[in-house]
Amino acid sequence: MEELEVRIKRVKERIAEAALRKGRNPQEIILVAVTKTVEPERIMAAAELGIEHFGENRVQEALEKIPRINFLLPKPVTWHMVGHLQTNKVPKAVRLFDFIHSIDSVRLAVELSKRAVSLGKTIPILLEVNISGEATKFGFHPDEVERAVPEILPLPGLSVQGLMTIAPIVQEPEEARPYFRALRELRDRLAEKFPQASWKHLSMGMTDDFEVAVEEGATMVRIGRAIFGERR
């Protein structure tokens, strides 16, 4: 087996083992392979090995890669925007991506809504929450989301599907658990208060902490290095 194939297989096994530890169905967890800095050839190789979801974090890089890859792939894949999205990049993002994980302001949601409507699209989105409150991170403050939701839900062209977070960098994956748990609890509260949206997705967990995230209810894990190796 090629190295990439071994890595993908191992990541899938680790996701399944974490899910089963909590009595969850491994099938309900979507593996998003994060391909920032990864060359199109290796992305194509991963798609040929069965990866169906890919994530990029910068619109400019995505613009250089996604159309070309989509053109060459025999079967369509789903592209996820996982990085911070600037309002002025929305017109490009809305054409490139199928799913946006990083809605972090009402203003951004309004802009995305306008663009989605003008393309006749409905785009699934997640609200990014800065669950740890670190100053360096993007995302709604946990107290702020509840106020933003009633402004975002009625916007046409958007479909709110849940929440996303990036846990702080920690020494041990276990230390990230409280943040993942807090995101799940916040999601549960929002689902109760705003039952008109789906809230089914929790996008959380990366190379260093995805097993803990799955144990805490992640439905999407965003994994780069464990699949493609260290970034340059």
Ligand X SMILES: *Cc1c(COP(=O)(O)O)cnc(C)c1O
Residues that bind ligand X in the complex, under the rule CB under 6 A: 34, 36, 57, 82-83, 166, 206-208, 222-226
Q: Smallest distance, Å, CB 224 to ligand X?
A: 3
Q: Which is nearer to ligand X, 38 or 158 (CB)?
A: 38
SS (H, E, C) the chain: CCHHHHHHHHHHHHHHHHHHHCCCCHHHCEEEEECCCCCHHHHHHHHHCCCCEEEECCHHHHHHHHHHHHHHCCCCCEEEECCCCCHHHHHHHHHHCCEEEEECCHHHHHHHHHHHHHCCCCEEEEEEECCCCCCCCCCECHHHHHHHHHHHCCCCCEEEEEEECCCCCCCCHHHHHHHHHHHHHHHHHHHHHCCCCCCCEEECCCCCCHHHHHHCCCCEEEECHHHHCCCC
Q: Which is nearer to ligand X, 157 or 179 (CB)?
A: 179
Q: Which is nearer to ligand X, 113 or 203 (CB)?
A: 203
Q: Which is nearer to ligand X, 13 or 151 (CB)?
A: 13
Q: Smallest distance, Å, CB 56 to ligand X?
A: 9
Q: Half-sphere exposure of residue 228, counting CA atoms within 13 Å on the CB side?
A: 25
Q: Which is nearer to ligand X, 3 or 192 (CB)?
A: 3
Q: Smallest distance, Å, CB 207 to ligand X?
A: 3
Q: Which is nearer to ligand X, 157 or 216 (CB)?
A: 216
Q: Smallest distance, Å, CB 15 to ligand X?
A: 13
Q: Smallest distance, Å, CB 157 to ligand X?
A: 23
82's tokens:
């996982």
Q: Smallest distance, Å, CB 162 to ligand X?
A: 15
